[in-house]
Structure 1
Amino acid sequence: MTKRTALVVGATGLIGKELVMLLIENPQYERVEIWVRRSSGFKHPKLTERMINFDSLQDIQIETPFHDVFCCLGTTIKKAKTKDQFKKVDLEYPLELARFAKNNHAEHLLVISAIGANAGSSIFYNHVKGQLERELQALTLPQLSIFRPSILLGKREEFRFGERLGIMAVSLMRFLLLGKLKRYRGIKASDVAKAMVIASLKQPKQPVTIYESEEIAKLSLEAI
């Protein structure tokens, strides 16, 4: 069986950290590379860390293609401070990464989007995520998997008051969210990361697959 290689961008985020750990522990991956702004602190024989300028993604040179490229980039309006900066992180950088993946013959791009992503939405966040999904699909990549998690559960380094309130509300309402509303239940970042690895290794190859939050939760129950 061919050993796989993976690139993770957004490796220091809530999902990214979980994803890196799963990939380096998986025997099917022989090499994992992460692209970061500053050193992550991750150390492992399989792991290569590369500090890059995200504004120059297309200038990066690699010797051999990655089998799987995982995009876990994302920020908040509060952290980004402006809508333009938010779009740079959540739209422009992922699109540049997707073009890089295509130009460098990656087999599979796996991207974190968000529940409610809709390019036609009047909600800025949902609109940007929907625009990203639309433009990614227009690139006609060999294989594209889009993950739309609900509110993420996990320990963040920074305190986000609004998100903390959201998590509390979702936790209290969990058993009231039934049927179509199940997709709004909070989901562990570790479960999203696991679902991404499973999708990279076990899911049938098709041009575009979109995983809603409840589908991500279900997929994460499978063995890797």
Structure 2
Amino acid sequence: MAGKKIRAIITGATGMVGEGVMLQCLRHPNVEAVLIINRKASGYKHPKLTEIVHADFYNLMPVEDQLVGYNACYFCLGISSVGVNKDDYYKNTYLLTVGVAQTLAALNPDMTFCYVSGAGTDSNAKGTGWAAVKGKTENDLMKLPFKQVFAFRPGFIKPIKGQTKAHSFYKYIGWLFPVGRAVYAGWFVTLAEVAQAMIKVTQDGYHTPVIEGKDIIALGKNSLTSFR
């Protein structure tokens, strides 16, 4: 797909990861169009950007006609398992993600689907904890008839400077990033690297569908354009 322009659907743009991926895509010359789907308006305006405000991600039928013609999905929507019961976490992680993906696969079979999972995810999907639910989600996404599916597994993510959706605690622990990167680079990545890696695998593919932190860093460095 090298040389082909990317038309990307991004979910979760009202959260930190989705916002960062969106901003990088809007700046990247190989991305010609970005569609964000949110439960509430993001407040962003850009010549490349289209936004759909849709409350029910479990039923995309009312907006399906607006989802056709895209060749990438960067799925950044998700919730923390902290303080959430197992049934709600399963519903909002597995059922929501796979349901949206099934719709997109039917509408856009030439699509590359990139799912933001997490470091420590269990590919064996044993048990009911967050790591198993994420693993089951990854596994079942890879069975869908997309052109490509990639599971991204970042650990600590450094937000892009100027983001409005970055968690406030990053202001107080940001100093940890260079230390963590030096000691264990694979667990410490930047949001710029995540987005650039998504663009890179969409265009050129990759030798493994599971993109660990070290892969994110390498792919981010090899992306056509760097936006730090």
After superposition, give the CA deviation of every residue in 1:2-56 in whole Å (9 maximum; x if it has no partner): 5431111111222211211122222333221100010101100111110112121
How far did residue 175 of structure 1 move? 4.0
Cα deviation for residue 129 of structure 1 reads 0.7
For residues 38 and 126 of structure 1, the distance between their equivalents in structure 2, rounded to whole angstroms, comes to 28
Per the alignment, residue 98 of structure 1 pairs with 101
User: Separation in 2 of the partners of 1:25 and 1:217?
Assistant: 19
* Counterparts in 2 of 1:173 and 1:50: CA distance versus 1, 3 Å: closer
* TM-score for the superposition, normalised by structure 1: 0.81
In 1, are the aligned partners of 2:196 and 2:223 still within 8 Å (CA)? no
Rate the CA distance shift 1:143–1:176 in 2: closer, same or farther, 3 A.
closer
Letter in 1 for 2:220: S
In structure 2, C-alpha distance between the alignment counterparts of 1:22 and 1:144, rounded to whole Å: 20
Is 1:89–2:92 an aligned residue pair?
A: yes
Cα pair 2:20 2:195 within 8 Å, conserved: yes
Structure 2 unpaired stretches of 5+: none
Query: Which structure 1 segments of 5+ residues have no match?
Result: none
Per the alignment, residue 200 of structure 1 pairs with: 202
Supply the AA of the counterpart residue of 2:152.
F
Alignment of structure 1 residues 1-224 onto 2, 5 Å: 2-52=4-54, 53-62=56-65, 64-78=68-82, 81-106=84-109, 107-118=111-122, 119-122=124-127, 124-154=129-159, 157-159=166-168, 172=179, 174-177=181-184, 182-183=185-186, 185-203=187-205, 209-224=209-224
TM-score w.r.t. the length of structure 2 is 0.80
Aligned alpha-carbon RMSD (Å): 2.7
The verdict on how the C-alpha distance between 1:188 and 1:29 changes in structure 2, with shifts beyond 3 A counting, is: closer
Measured in 2, the distance between the counterparts of 1:85 and 1:159 equals 25
Percent identity between matched residues is 23
CA-CA distance at 1:172 after TM superposition: 4.8
The count of aligned residue pairs is: 213
Which stretch shifts more, 47-56 or 149-158? 149-158
Encode CA deviations 1:161-188: one digit per residue, 9 max, x unaligned: 9xx77x77776555443xxxx53x3212
